[in-house]
A and B are shown apart, each in its own frame.
Chain A
Amino acid sequence: MVDALAAVFERPNFLTFVIIFLWGFYIMVTRYNLVKKLVGMYLVQTSVIFFLVSISAKKGATVPILLSTTDPVKAIDYVNPLPHVMTLTAIVVGVATLGVALALCSAIYRTYGSLDEEEILKKLE
């Protein structure tokens, strides 16, 4: 029990990821306003990306841009570049899908005059 708690507090990035991920997910499930749901979705997306970038960190290493192009490269001097590449793609695609979701929100508002889930369902009946 104490071991598990110590393991969590040795990894503050992971603790932050878990809090933001679950809170964002809870907002997506419980709130009735559609824009608020999208705020929760954005928090979930960015928290997962935050977790992946935290994996790439190395103590005492610098950014993955080579300091010298003639000396042989030692991999231990630079942080792991592969999670950075994957998360770059994920950020841009995430914002693109967020844009489509927001366009759907304003189309719904134009048709039903509300962004509240229950009022929209009432008008659908």
Chain B
Amino acid sequence: MSLVYEISLLLLLLMTAAGAILVKDLMSAILLLGCYSFFLSVVWAWLGAVDVAFVEAVVGAGLATVLFLLTLFGTQPKDGRLRRPPPPIAAVIALPLLGVLLLYAAKDLPAFGDPASPPSVRISPSYLEQSYKDTRTPNVVTSVLMDYRSLDTMVETVVIFTAGIACAFILRRKTS
């Protein structure tokens, strides 16, 4: 049952990503990309990552789509090129080779959902068991983000602030 659910969600994900890539009209491509983000957040909620799913639905599907649409309203909404020259030969050879290598490495990865996989047994149990004692917050993701790693989160806001300043300076119209 759950495998059927997973496979159909992954197929929807692949189909919306393919649509965003193949559609000629850029406006439709951006809206399909928004759909892709929403399906991604559904997949993440199904995997148990509810905080990541919320952030993706708000920031990925909402804010990124709005930014793309604002750019397209200011520029040309169509990919004007009708015929493309053939792609560079290095990309055609190297990328499938990289894909085969990545898939060949699949059997060394821990099985999907294995509770005894290396990332789940080394350090994360101590966070899960200690965090309520240390921070008095039942949500472990919040307690790691806002308490154990609060300096990282603060510097992340510095990054976003810098990005905002950069956008403001790039888009400033010259007053002559």
Instruction: Identify the A interface with B (CB < 8 A).
Output: 3-4, 7-8, 10-16, 18-20, 22-27, 29-33, 35-36, 38-40, 42-43, 46, 49-50, 53-66, 69, 72-73, 75-76, 78-85, 87-89, 91-93, 95-100, 102-107, 109, 114-116
With A20-B17, A65-B139, A88-B55 as contacts: A50 and B99 at CB distance below 8 Å: no
Contact of A13 among B59, B99, B112, B166 (CB under 8 A): B112
Q: Contacts of A79 on B, CB cut-off 8 Å?
A: 47-49
Q: Contacts of A35 on B, CB cut-off 8 Å?
A: 26, 30, 68, 71-72, 75
Q: Contacts of B167 on A, CB cut-off 8 Å?
A: 99-100, 103
Q: Closest Cβ of chain A: how far from B22's Cβ, in Å?
A: 10
Beta-carbon nearest neighbor of B163 in chain A: A96
Beta-carbon nearest neighbor of B59 in chain A: A95
CA distance A7 to B104 in the complex (A): 9
Q: Contacts of B64 on A, CB cut-off 8 Å?
A: 42, 95, 98
Beta-carbon nearest neighbor of B136 in chain A: A69
CB-contacts of B103-152 with A (<8 A): 103-104, 106-107, 109-115, 117, 119-120, 123-125, 127-129, 132, 138-141, 144-145, 149, 152
Asked if A89 and B156 make an inter-chain contact with CB atoms under 8 angstroms apart, the answer reads yes
Asked if A59 and B21 make an inter-chain contact with CB atoms under 8 angstroms apart, the answer reads no
Asked if B50 and A63 make an inter-chain contact with CB atoms under 8 angstroms apart, the answer reads yes
Q: Closest Cβ of chain A: how far from B8's Cβ, in Å?
A: 11
CA distance A97 to B164 in the complex (A): 9
Contact of A75 among B21, B129, B141, B166 (CB under 8 A): B129
B150-162 toward A: CB 8 Å interface, digit per residue (1/0)? 0011001001100
Instruction: Identify the B interface with A (CB < 8 A).
Output: 6-7, 10, 13-14, 17-18, 20-21, 26, 29-30, 33, 36-37, 40, 43-44, 47-52, 55-56, 59-60, 63-64, 67-68, 70-72, 74-76, 79-81, 84, 87-88, 91, 95-96, 98-99, 102-104, 106-107, 109-115, 117, 119-120, 123-125, 127-129, 132, 138-141, 144-145, 149, 152-153, 156, 159-160, 163-164, 166-167, 170-171
Count of CB-CB pairs between chains A and B under 8 Å: 259
Asked if A102 and B71 make an inter-chain contact with CB atoms under 8 angstroms apart, the answer reads yes
Shortest 3 CB-CB contacts between residues of A and residues of B: A75-B125, A7-B107, A96-B163
Asked if A12 and B95 make an inter-chain contact with CB atoms under 8 angstroms apart, the answer reads no
